[in-house]
Structure 1
Amino acid sequence: MNIKSNLSETPLFARQVELEAESLALGAQAYEKSHEAGQEAETRPGVSMLRKAVLPTAERIVQFIEEAETGKSGPRHNALPYVARIDPEEAAYLTARCAINGAADARMLQAVALSIGNAIQAHLDIKLMADSQPGLFHKVSEQLKKSTSGRHRSAVFQRVIAKHGKRAVSWDEREKLLVGKKLLDLFIEATGMVVAARMTDGSANTPIKLHFTPEHLAELEKAHAKCALLCPIHLPMVHPPRDWTSPYHGGYVTQVLNPRLVRTNSREYLDDLKNADLSQVYESINAIQSTPWQINTRVLDVIRDMWDAQENSPALVQRRDEPLPPRPYDVPEGVPVAQLTLDQQEALKEWKMAAAAVYEENEHRASQRVQMAQKLYVADRFAPEEAIYFPHSLDFRGRVYPFAAYLNPQGDDVAKGLLQFAEGKPLGARGAYWLKVHIANLFGVDKVSFADRIKWVEENADKLLDSGLDPRDGERFWETADSPVSALAACMEFVSYTYNGEGHVSRLPIHMDGSCSGLQHFSALLRDPVGGAAVNLVPQDKPGDIYTQVSNKGQELSDGRLEKQPEFSVAWNGKFKRSIAKQPTMTLCYAATKLGMAKMIAKAVKGEGEDYLGKDAHVFKSSVYAADVIWEALGEIVVAARGAMTWVQSASKVISATNQPMRWTTPMGLPVRQAYWVEEGQRIETFVDGKRVTLTLVTDTDKIDGRKQASSVAPNYVHSLDGAHLMRTALWGKENGLTALAVIHDSFGTHAADTDMLHAVIREAFIEQYAGNLLADMRDELIEQLKDHPDLIEKIPELPPVGNLNLEGVRDSLYLFA
């Protein structure tokens, strides 16, 4: 083990070294466990083997068909009429998949051949349904979307095909065995990856089994060993993280976990980072990861007890499965459907659909329970520690992420509720003020002024105290919050404040979130007074709510379409609301399309109730209409954001014409390199266990994918801006005495006593970031990139106009982050 550190060799340091070795071992164990539980062809080494096998096998299938069609006699030609019906590449994929899985388990040759025949038949049947009955296929696929059981999905599709669809082929067992055996022979001939052999005493009665050849088995085992080492389960640290001083050194104290500042495999980009001045980047990340945390044992005790008691709570994933609905009492079992009355058939159909929905939801919850158990394991493991730490790294845009899996400050509500700062600070009067604001926010009372939030807390003080004092046997008001476990932690803190007053020593992180942060950054970028007002860049008596503004504007525009589109205008009369407009508005800056917005609106409509738009409304068509209306509304409210997005997209097309990655530098000095390459090769699409599966047989070329570059640059650029703002906030916060920081992209938290300072730092950092013209800086960098292509410089579009928004007003805008 190579340890390079100037940290003292203390017992704590030695424990940390052991923890990092354990992280590696835990990852290897988890990998081996998932490998044993799953199918070989679905592992990374198995997929790699698949990719190598498919094209040679497909070529051998084509060769077999061509040879057989010459008319030469031979027993192998018995399979020709069957094999000739199958697309060679699809057949090759399914054959290779079954063969690799069979060889991994040393299955009998006949069983593997039959599995190939079954896979081919099921694929052809479902493919026929997808092509000839797309509506039925889509309906069944949607119903099975959450199902994690391949056997269940396959069985459902087979039942539906038997009742409503057509079969592409109707093979008996002998025919499936014939097809499978021939395809398996062709796979073995083409790849040499597996052999069929008797592996015992060689007697005639010993079944023939499939095995990997020695060289391929050795290659596979070596690949699995490497994967196991490359999949560590990162844990919190008990020793302060090593400061980042280079792109390769920082965070964890040893090199066994191979920490990197930026998560990328691009050697060229990492070299760029080594040559850049990243001093501010290092300082900000070091400030974030130096925050000492603790497990909030009061919350852990409650959540652990509820979990062990298998309580069903809105705060947790359901501990027990939902019971399947009872079978209709008047529908006899064992009677063919055709012999049932029409009413009985309809009742049976409805029962099966309801039972399938419950089954699939129970399957989905199973994986959520595993994740919950993992969080509690880590919380229990580190609960005795006085301080734990979370080392952080970046993505290529400069967004900050913790390494630790399962439990970290950027986790879900349960994860955040289980964590508190290790250092405590007395509340004081202002800390008590911010604690109350925080509590109201957690309960969804965040669209009103701070004064009204505090009033709400005071009016509900008895319920909050009951939750904190008696979380399990009381009224459980905490479970009604938007973030229940975080609310439970806050209610417990409220109890301590109520009894101890402003002298109460608090460890609770107090969070403040941005208002649709993507639009905040774009509005500041172009000094947009309209968009800026909508996202709280100007002082207001209460927070502006852009989602409500967009929904109101959408309603106004929809009402104006009554004569042109009466059907949809009437259906949407009075139905545009905040929940409908939120997702489309939020994702505008992230390259959302009208079609994407329509899907978001359709989901929101279903969430409002089955008949929200009327019993006869076509939900998706109505959602397409609403998306067009919302798109128009956004165009009127956030004009500048659209202009900035269009400019960076147009500029990226010019750079792509030179076959270069798109490069820019964030306001904190981090070089960003966006490079999406054209992929060469093909994709093979099949149906496995009722699920559409695509094998990608492609590799990156040395040609830039201009279309993907253009579609990705706006979201990547705005993420680089919010990442830079977070870094500057962390850096300035430390300089101004903040000793603890919780950060999640557009959300910042610290001690209640320090929240006034953090609140001010957030706004000052925002003003400073946009003091210049960042788009002009970006244009200058792009022109430098084009120095060898002077003819293209003039194709960089003119910068969009800058408005008259006074960014100094941000200093007094209390609801910029609130």
Structure 2
Amino acid sequence: MDVLDSQKQINGICLDLLLQEIVPLSLRVTHLNAEKRQSQDTGKDCQTRIDTPLSKIAGDLPGRIAIFESEHLSQDEVTLRVESYGYATGLRLTEVLIFVDTINDIASEQKRYTVTNYETRIRVNHYLQAVFQGDTAHALQLLGKFKDKCKSNRTHSSFPRNVQIYISCLSTLAAQLSSSSGGSDRDFTAIRRTIDEVASIPEYISSDVDESQLTRIWSQLVIALVRHLDHLPSDDLARRHRIRKLALNLVNEQCISTESLEKLIETDYPQLLRSLNYIWPFTQHKSTEETKINVSPFLNKDGSMSYSGLCDFIGSSRYQYKSDQRPMFEIYDSLEGSDKDEFFKAYLDYNKARQLEVEHYCGSLQESFSSDQNGQNFRTFNSLHGEQMIQWHHQICSALQSLDKSSHKSLSKFEFFFTVYPVEKLVSLVLTRMISLTLATGQVRTITLARSISSSFKWSFFTEPTLRPMLQDLDHYLNDEDAIEFFCGLIKVVVDTCVLKNDDEIRGTKLFSGEKTSRPVFSISYQRFSPDSSPLHRSGIILLDQEIMSYFQSQKEIFHSDSYLLPMLCPPVNWTSPMKGGFLESCAPLVRSPDEKTTFKFMEKANETGQLSSLYRSLSLLGSVPWTINRGMLDVFNHALEQSRGFLSIPPPLSELMVEKVPTPTQNAPGNQDDPKQAMRIFKRLKEQAIQTYNDLRGLRITYELINKSANSYGKNGDIMYLPHNVDFRGRAYPAVSFLSHHNEDLVRSVLMFWEARELGPNGYDWLKYQLANLYSKTSLTMPESIHFVASNMENIIESAQNPFGGSMWWTKGDKPWQCLALCKELLSIESFDGPPSTYKSRIPVHQDGTCNGLQHYAALGADEEAAKSVNLLPSAQRQDVYSAVLELVKKRVHEDSASEDDDLKHLALISKPLLSRKLIKQTVMTTVYGVTLFGASRQIEARVQDVTKHLDNDTFESYSRMQVASYIAKTVLKTITELFSGAKAIQDWLVRNCIRCITSFRSEDLNFQNDVDFFGSKYYRPMMWSSLSGFPVVQPYRHFKKKEIVTPLQKVMIHKKSSLTHINVRKQLNALAPNFIHSLDAIHLQMTCLEANRGGINFAAVHDSFWTHAGDVEILSRAIRSEFVRLHSSHIIQNLKDDLDFTNRDAMQVVWAENQEDPLFIEALQTTRQAYNIDEPKQRGARYFNKCLMHELKDPSQVSALQNSRTL
């Protein structure tokens, strides 16, 4: 029987469907790149399992790999041992979590936290107003109505939602009391009455609430008592004793941990630690003295923070050490022993306070245009533009304050936010975000704008002490859909209010001219999702007036209003859970994913079983590496930004950028007479390309401005920087910062260096030369070649270091010019050093990159010696270059095709011949291993062809387009790689075949509560998932999300509902599996190498398959890279994956088909068995009949399984 083919026509007469237990395929291939050898014993082809270890390097080592507990291995050992990590079945992801249940749980939770009733929403608004106005009596009265609603609807489907409204409101009241209670009798009464309210929660409510929520409420009330006690006079012993007794009773009765209470107070209310110690004298009393840093000079008048203000704060809040004004890293280097340790501890303690302030504001950065600013905010903002923004700000504020919100349903539901959130600050947030997002290209999608404003709005609650009590429950009062409706309402107010009149002028400058009396600053419209999408699939957009766009184009400050995660000033928190680690305030989750809620559920379960321990440790180590700014390169960066025509990859300043003019075709122009419509189409395309190029350059310039601003803020004082890391859904590690990291491009990498300086040692100087030569050269050089290259170019190197913008500017011709210049400066420092080079202390990282790392993994998986040799896995007298090897084979094929009798093939080969180069095919060779399609490869090569031939006469491509040429080259390259790396193709095919079986299978556990299941559709297919060797659960997130239309005052907005059970994207699941699997191996190798480097006592950083350390430690890291790669590939990777798939699908069934005529006796027995199901069988059996039969057999497969077994026998 075969797995159901979706293309096969189902006919009830000739075809029967049944379920069969799924068995993942084993993978066995003929030994790769070797002639088939006849076995001496059997005469059959010698077969080798695909996960045969590299026997020439390591022995056959069974067991899963323990990447966090392996003992240190001697570098001279030939056989590397692998610690057995054999997972207990309980540790498997799918043992503890079912995908369908997960999605349903998320949907149920989202429904629980959604306020759907308009009247309830208004009542919640009134309640919150009462809470934050201190009217506890009225708040409790309204709270009673929420509780009554729970009682009256106990059997209704809305009961969980009503319970959550009641609990969230109660939680907010308790949080407000804990943060604002004073020492008056009125305050004590409010606390006492709230305690009574919580104590009287009926059992039918408390049983429906997570226990942690009630514990949190009780803890907040205890803190409210501590705060009340803190306000009482020290001689009021009677009242203080009464409060102490009440707090002790609450803690004992509710079983609250005093340790967790102390930790909560220490984190959120450190000023209350002394009063806590009065109640519990046995708690560890900690000093309440904190490092206080005054951030107010850098804030806007409305309390918000701009990007410039935040960078200025970082640069101006220097740690003072004995009036020493040297860079911090130089002070650190100059100290010895205990002095060094004391300085570093004090410096990091101070920096932790700075970091907390940075994290409070970095998620909601905005300019303020309140009239109260008095122009001080516009330090670099043209005063004329500033006055215009202030005028708009004033108009919008007036419009909002005079608006009758009760008549605007979408705003009346959220009226509470207008009463507690400063209107001026809210308007600044909306206005600056609208302008900043539309200025780049003249437009922005409405949904993108609304979500951006919402994210910053919610983040800003961190910085508003009066609003912080709402943080825990803010997503309940303003969930994603609510926020879109609310902010679209505010956007509409801005669109309606911001109008330029013909007679408007500032300081004698007219803002626009023309016949119209007025024109809107913003307008709304609809646009197709993409050029390739249907005209019916449109999304709402906000447009910025073109004259206004031109008017503000040079004002870079406005572009910086957004949310940015900057490098940390103190060590990141060690990862201990999916939401605890990295930033101090948990700004970024452990896993970045397009479906964060589902991913988080999986990670929670994996965390409970201990599967993430090794990931936590490696990420914590990656984040613990200290960095600093290379001030010499920063000076060059600053100077390059000042160049009016731009410099290298840096575009000119915004004020100098213009859209390239495209001549309008005229009827009499040559070539236009024959086909004027074609000429106009070309004109429109060229004009669109010019606009796109202009927008791309603007965006790139803005990005460089952002990077430069933050780099200067950290570089001003030579501050230390840390880069907290998290991972994607495959386990690949990334710095969790917005742009200033070593994962960025060449220029950014050049301004970064290690904080710690280390001696070069005997070979470090050679490694710096090796790095410079290979960054400059377009091809890989050996160590002797690199040393010779540097020696022969030493004059150019010194000239580049001393005068980067003068002379021959040799460094600019390098493949990675900015990093080349950083190394030129380093080599100049070494040459000028008084002592021997081995004692010179260097901070410049040296990279060790894999040779097409994906192909290395495939060669190792297949024990393919020829492939392994081509990617430098095996010892060789000369370094191999796989790209050059592929290029030579491609040239040979193209040469053969140029003599073909096929005219098309011949001409394509002749056009392609002069275009072939290593650079042309490199990207395609690299991405082939990740499953690049022919179309994708053609697009890659087309871009290169376009770049190489842009100056050629178009006649060259008159008969064949660039895309046709690129497609021919792409086919040739892919065919060559398939033959050279046949093992990779075999493994990819095996992965895809198993993926089809796994994702299209069904489990009864998934469908327990489903009555009507369509076994022919994909709604209940599961995503491909597996547990990697480190224990990390890899779940492919590709699904077709449901769309929901939200009606807002502005326009209808379409959103994707990720909490609904929807069809998986089968095509993406299949196409992405091979690259995701290899990426997951990349991730494990990186983690293993990181841990081994830590054991070796060296600094370690990485960009996926590029590993970095100090020049003097390269050999140590080199040995670690190789030993860990061998250890990884000695662990039966493919067999372990198959075992994992076996376990994952142990109870899964797949739909198969059987031809009636092949085995009529079996079909007759099957149909007889199904007659006993009492299913109403129509005359013509169809999908409904088969679905009922299959559902019955899924729940009880015993009878059909017995039939299949007897048929097999």
Q: TM-score, normalized by length of structure 1?
A: 0.69
Q: How far does residue 99 in structure 1 lie from its aligned partner after superposition?
A: 10
| 1:468 paired to 2:801 | yes
| 1:630 paired to 2:970 | no
Match of 1:688 in 2: none
Q: Deviations over 1:557-605 (max 9, x none)?
A: 3333443533333432434332232222111122211111112222221
Q: Find the aligned partners of 1:736 and 1:102 in 2 and give their Cα distance.
A: 60
Cα RMSD (Å): 4.4
Query: Residues 252 and 259 of structure 1 are in contact (CA less than 8 Å); yes or no, is this contact kept in structure 2?
Result: no
| 1:489 paired to 2:819 | no
AA partner of residue 757 (structure 1)? I
| 1:453 paired to 2:786 | yes
Match of 1:187 in 2: none
Match of 1:526 in 2: 862
Aligned pairs, number: 638
Q: How far does residue 298 in structure 1 lie from its aligned partner after superposition?
A: 0.9
Q: Find the aligned partners of 2:1068 and 2:791 in 1 and give their Cα distance.
A: 52
Q: How far does residue 532 in structure 1 lie from its aligned partner after superposition?
A: 1.6
Match of 2:904 in 1: 567
Equivalent position to 1:314, from 632, 648, 652: 648
Secondary structure in structure 2 of the residue aligned to 1:595: helix
Query: Residues 495 and 520 of structure 2 are in contact (CA less than 8 Å); yes or no, is this contact kept in structure 1?
Result: no
Mapping of residues 803-814 of structure 1, within 5 Å: none
AA partner of residue 991 (structure 2)? V
Greater RCO, 1 or 2 (C-alpha within 8 Å, sep 6+): 2
Q: How far does residue 323 in structure 1 lie from its aligned partner after superposition?
A: 6.7
Query: Residues 676 and 709 of structure 1 are in contact (CA less than 8 Å); yes or no, is this contact kept in structure 2?
Result: yes
Q: Find the aligned partners of 2:352 and 2:896 in 1 and give their Cα distance.
A: 65
Q: How far does residue 361 in structure 1 lie from its aligned partner after superposition?
A: 2.9
| 1:291 paired to 2:625 | yes
Match of 1:428 in 2: 761
Secondary structure in structure 1 of the residue aligned to 2:734: strand
Match of 2:925 in 1: 585
Match of 1:237 in 2: 568
Secondary structure in structure 2 of the residue aligned to 1:105: helix
Q: Deviations over 1:666-699 (max 9, x none)?
A: 2333222224334345999xxxxxxxx9966665
Q: Deviations over 1:295-346 (max 9, x none)?
A: 1111111211232354632153334746777999xx9xxxx956x6769999
Query: Residues 292 and 423 of structure 1 are in contact (CA less than 8 Å); yes or no, is this contact kept in structure 2?
Result: yes
Q: Find the aligned partners of 1:783 and 1:619 in 2 and give their Cα distance.
A: 47
Q: Deviations over 1:256-294 (max 9, x none)?
A: x25435653323212232123333222222221111111
Q: Find the aligned partners of 2:856 and 2:741 in 1 and give their Cα distance.
A: 27
| 1:732 paired to 2:1092 | yes
Q: How far does residue 769 in structure 1 lie from its aligned partner after superposition?
A: 0.6
| 1:477 paired to 2:810 | yes
Q: Deviations over 1:65-94 (max 9, x none)?
A: xxxxxxxxxxxxxxxxxxxxxxxxxxxxxx
Q: Find the aligned partners of 1:106 and 1:323 in 2 and give their Cα distance.
A: 30
Task: Return closer, same or farther for 1:788/1:370 CA change in 2, 3 Å cut-off.
Answer: same
Q: Find the aligned partners of 2:804 and 2:522 in 1 and give their Cα distance.
A: 55
Mapping of residues 405-804 of structure 1, within 5 Å: 405-500=738-833, 501-502=836-837, 503-561=839-897, 562-563=899-900, 565-573=902-910, 574-575=913-914, 576-610=916-950, 611=952, 616-656=959-999, 657-658=1001-1002, 659-680=1021-1042, 700-738=1060-1098, 740-789=1099-1148
Mapping of residues 143-292 of structure 1, within 5 Å: 232-255=563-586, 257=587, 259-260=589-590, 264-266=596-598, 267-274=600-607, 275-292=609-626
Q: How far does residue 115 in structure 1 lie from its aligned partner after superposition?
A: 13
Query: Residues 773 and 781 of structure 2 are in contact (CA less than 8 Å); yes or no, is this contact kept in structure 1?
Result: no
Q: How far does residue 232 in structure 1 lie from its aligned partner after superposition?
A: 4.4
Match of 1:144 in 2: none
Task: Return closer, same or farther for 1:609/1:396 CA change in 2, 3 Å cut-off.
Answer: same
AA partner of residue 532 (structure 1)? A
Structure 2, unpaired ranges of 5+ = 1-178, 180-263, 269-283, 291-345, 367-428, 454-486, 500-515, 537-541, 550-559, 1003-1020, 1047-1051, 1153-1209
Query: Residues 288 and 742 of structure 1 are in contact (CA less than 8 Å); yes or no, is this contact kept in structure 2?
Result: yes
Q: Deviations over 1:469-516 (max 9, x none)?
A: 222233221111222221111100010111224122110001121111
AA partner of residue 572 (structure 2)? P
Q: How far does residue 784 in structure 1 lie from its aligned partner after superposition?
A: 0.4
Query: Residues 149 and 363 of structure 1 are in contact (CA less than 8 Å); yes or no, is this contact kept in structure 2?
Result: no
Secondary structure in structure 2 of the residue aligned to 1:265: helix
AA partner of residue 787 (structure 2)? I
Q: Find the aligned partners of 2:589 and 2:353 in 1 and give their Cα distance.
A: 14
Query: Residues 582 and 588 of structure 2 are in contact (CA less than 8 Å); yes or no, is this contact kept in structure 1?
Result: no
Query: Residues 730 and 741 of structure 1 are in contact (CA less than 8 Å); yes or no, is this contact kept in structure 2?
Result: yes
| 1:391 paired to 2:391 | no
Secondary structure in structure 2 of the residue aligned to 1:27: coil
Match of 1:366 in 2: 698
Secondary structure in structure 1 of the residue aligned to 2:1070: helix
Match of 1:35 in 2: 434
Query: Residues 324 and 359 of structure 1 are in contact (CA less than 8 Å); yes or no, is this contact kept in structure 2?
Result: yes
Query: Residues 677 and 701 of structure 1 are in contact (CA less than 8 Å); yes or no, is this contact kept in structure 2?
Result: no
Query: Residues 551 and 580 of structure 1 are in contact (CA less than 8 Å); yes or no, is this contact kept in structure 2?
Result: no
- Stretch of structure 1 that moved more, 744-753 or 474-483: 474-483
Secondary structure in structure 1 of the residue aligned to 2:1116: helix
Query: Residues 559 and 569 of structure 1 are in contact (CA less than 8 Å); yes or no, is this contact kept in structure 2?
Result: no
Query: Residues 581 and 630 of structure 1 are in contact (CA less than 8 Å); yes or no, is this contact kept in structure 2?
Result: yes
Equivalent position to 1:106, from 486, 493, 496: 496
Q: How far does residue 236 in structure 1 lie from its aligned partner after superposition?
A: 1.3
Q: Find the aligned partners of 1:625 and 1:617 in 2 and give their Cα distance.
A: 11
How high is the sequence identity, in percent, across the aligned residues?
24
Task: Return closer, same or farther for 1:754/1:446 CA change in 2, 3 Å cut-off.
Answer: farther
Match of 2:36 in 1: none
Match of 2:1016 in 1: none
Secondary structure in structure 2 of the residue aligned to 1:377: helix
Task: Return closer, same or farther for 1:344/1:717 CA change in 2, 3 Å cut-off.
Answer: closer
AA partner of residue 754 (structure 1)? D
Task: Return closer, same or farther for 1:696/1:545 CA change in 2, 3 Å cut-off.
Answer: farther
Q: Find the aligned partners of 2:887 and 2:1113 in 1 and give their Cα distance.
A: 36
Secondary structure in structure 1 of the residue aligned to 2:832: helix
AA partner of residue 1029 (structure 2)? P
- Stretch of structure 1 that moved more, 761-770 or 566-575: 566-575
Structure exhibiting the larger radius of gyration computed from Cα positions? 2
Q: Find the aligned partners of 1:152 and 1:647 in 2 and give their Cα distance.
A: 54
Secondary structure in structure 1 of the residue aligned to 2:575: strand
- Stretch of structure 1 that moved more, 712-721 or 533-542: 533-542
AA partner of residue 590 (structure 2)? R
Query: Residues 786 and 792 of structure 1 are in contact (CA less than 8 Å); yes or no, is this contact kept in structure 2?
Result: no
Task: Return closer, same or farther for 1:547/1:253 CA change in 2, 3 Å cut-off.
Answer: same
Q: How far does residue 440 in structure 1 lie from its aligned partner after superposition?
A: 0.8
Match of 1:59 in 2: none
Q: TM-score, normalized by length of structure 2?
A: 0.48
Task: Return closer, same or farther for 1:344/1:438 CA change in 2, 3 Å cut-off.
Answer: same
- Stretch of structure 1 that moved more, 567-576 or 473-482: 567-576
Secondary structure in structure 2 of the residue aligned to 1:237: coil
Query: Residues 683 and 695 of structure 1 are in contact (CA less than 8 Å); yes or no, is this contact kept in structure 2?
Result: yes
Query: Residues 498 and 521 of structure 2 are in contact (CA less than 8 Å); yes or no, is this contact kept in structure 1?
Result: no
Secondary structure in structure 2 of the residue aligned to 1:701: coil
Q: How far does residue 616 in structure 1 lie from its aligned partner after superposition?
A: 3.8
